[in-house]
Structure 1
Amino acid sequence: MTQEEPSDTHAYSRGAPVREALERLASRWTVLIVHALEDGPTRFNALKTRLGVSPHVLARALRDLERDGLVTRRAYPEVPIRVEYELSALGGTMCPVVEEIRRWAEHTAPAIGEARAAYDRSRQDE
């Protein structure tokens, strides 16, 4: 076996639990949803408005997080039905990670903006 051919038990192999957890964290909406739910239960429409995401995309992301045990969904028997989402105990363990990602983003955003502008300028000169 070479370095280019990891074994099936390698932590980052397709289907490995560690890889699946990393893919959940790297999912486009996970960090934003976890951050939005840090303050407690939140209704679907409030999340949709806060995140600026389509209902379809948000519903899919919440379903994925619920499936992975990171978010709980509570439906109240009211008319119209009221649904709230909340971080589970497992989902709450992501809060410190999300906070570090947020700090990194705030710290590097200006440099990333400058790099993008420089890249765009260099592409215009071609």
Structure 2
Amino acid sequence: MSLVSQTPIDSENLADLDGLVSSYEAFSGLGDTEQFRDLNFGPEELFFISSCVKWCATEPAKAACRNTSSDESRYGPWWNRCNFPLKNMEAFAEAFSCPVGSAMRPTAKVPSGTCEPDNE
């Protein structure tokens, strides 16, 4: 499954993945981070949750923010802009204990910076 040059959506998905990987590497380099006592999420879980907050919207709000009707065909659905990078990062799956083969921890992943899934 090659994602390069398939559609603009594929390019956007790969860019989202590469951006999240780079951000996660910077986050990981911070070392120990404080735990928020009132939240039931650890620092890594909060990192991944925060990476998707920008995609949270109700349908009417999402539609109002679009510039053109072609935005969806260029960028894909908002939920995939969140899920595609996350399900292709092993660190996410480990942080949330996703079972191997589940929707958010598929056995074939698209590694950051490449166009072919990693079937390891």
TM-score interval, normalised by the smaller of the two chains: under 0.3
Query: Normalised by the size of structure 2, how large is the TM-score?
Result: 0.25
Q: Greater strand percent: which structure?
A: 1
TM-score for both structures, normalised by structure 1 = 0.24
> Rg: which structure is higher?
1
- Which one has more relative contact order, counting CA pairs under 8 Å at least 6 apart? 2
